[in-house]
Amino acid sequence: MALILATTGICSAAHAARKEARIGFAFSMTGGASAYGDTQKKGAQLAVDEINSRAGQDGIEIVADFDDDASQPQQGINVFNRFIAADKVVMIIGPTLSNTAQAADRIAQQSGVPVLAVSNTAKGITDIGDYIFRDSLTEMAVIPNTIRVAKEKLGIRKVAVLYGNDDAFTKGGYDAFKKALGDSNIEVLSEQTFAKGDRDFSPQLTQIRSVNPDALVVSALVEEASGIVSQARQLGIPPSVHIIGGNGFNSPSLMKNAGKAAEGVIVGASWNAASSSPLNRKFVEAYTARYGSPPDQFAAQAYAAVYIAREALGRAGSTDNQKALRDALAQTGGLDTVLGKFSFTEGRDADHTPVVQVVKEGKFVIFGE
């Protein structure tokens, strides 16, 4: 009896010591960005389950509340309001699109709830306020490196530019490309635009073909990106005209939808599956075993975000004090993650090394290797 009581007491003490941290996850599970939101949810859930399997050892368990922002700003606002008012979350991870973040993040800032973005790369997101963070490298961090590497390795001197003019992400990507091209003294022969949901890009691509650029630079989400890549080759723009994409190209959906036309596409990124770090190898193996396909950059960023949040929660000394968590997040530096050594800048943006990828045999590999 004494042994039973003693054992029960130990179990009760361990259970009592465990603290729950409720986190809201707003991802695009439907709508135009669902290709990103699907892998984000999978990456985040994998991290949550790994952390919770060890919660008895270190005392913090994550209660994950997933909801669909439907790739729409108004739905993102609705989800954020529910997370904050009804669910009393300690922080929010997401939303998927920068357009949604520009609207919904303001709700969290006003309420003093930290937000950790995992795919918002447009300019100005963290300017919303001191509760807004992101582990996704901005286009301004990734694209200049992409253009520099492409110029060095391919000798690009003149390009055409095609971008979506009705979305914060694609317009932000265009701004980053425009500046990077100017800084690299690369001539822009033509600029063409499209709108979200467009399916026929032949007028723009026909004009671009006529100016004979060395490369076609594109800022687009993956659905439109797939169509642009496919139609460019169908219209006779040869593989010798390299296609260089922004962060929206970083999805297996590009290769799935564009097929062989995607071969040779160059994309700047914050992560590559081939990284040899032990943390990354473990993540790729676990994700692939669980879901039957390898992770993409969006899964990796969501997975990393959960571990960044967990580490900050430990330092905050509380699972429900949003201000303490905000302060702890701001102090994150040199943390080992699947993205590499990770820190937040003074402006709460991601600080780690970008990479340049190329599609080879249907997969993203490091460009130049």
Q: Label each residue of 113-139 as H, E or C.
A: CCEEECCCCCCCCHHHCCCEEECCCCH
Q: Are residues 133 and 147 in the same domain?
A: no
Q: Are residues 108 and 161 in the same domain?
A: no
Q: Are residues 183 and 234 in the same domain?
A: yes
Kindly compute the dihedral angle of the four CA atoms of residues 319, 321, 327, 332, in this order, to the nearest 10 degrees: 10
Residuewise pLDDT in 10s, the chain (369 residues): 444 444 444 444 444 456 899 999 999 999 989 999 999 999 999 999 999 998 766 689 999 999 999 999 999 999 999 999 999 999 999 999 999 999 999 999 999 999 999 999 988 999 999 999 999 998 888 999 999 999 999 999 999 999 999 988 899 999 999 999 999 999 999 999 999 899 999 999 999 999 999 999 999 999 999 999 999 999 999 999 999 998 889 888 999 999 999 999 999 998 988 888 899 999 999 999 999 999 999 999 999 999 999 999 999 999 999 999 999 999 999 999 999 999 999 999 999 989 999 999 999 999 976
* Residues 6+ away with beta carbon under 8 Å from 29: 37, 38, 41, 66, 68, 70
Q: Are residues 115 and 58 in the same domain?
A: yes
Q: Are residues 72 and 111 in the same domain?
A: yes
Q: Are residues 188 and 234 in the same domain?
A: yes
Q: Which of 208, 240, 269 is the last residue of a domain?
A: 269
Alpha carbon distance 49, 238 (integer Å): 46
**Residue in this structure with the two tokens 């001197």, named with its chain if needed:** 157
CATH code, domain with 72:
3.40.50.2300
**Residue in this structure with the two tokens 């029960």, named with its chain if needed:** 8
Q: Are residues 186 and 252 in the same domain?
A: yes
Q: Are residues 155 and 116 in the same domain?
A: no
* Residues 6+ away with beta carbon under 8 Å from 67: 24, 25, 26, 27, 79, 82, 83
Q: Answer yes or no: is 368 within a domain.
A: no
Q: Which of 226, 251, 269 is the last residue of a domain?
A: 269
Count how many domains the chain has: 2
Range of the domain at 260: 140-269
Q: Answer yes or no: is 217 within a domain.
A: yes
Largest CA distance in the chain: 88
Q: Which of 253, 269, 285 is the last residue of a domain?
A: 269
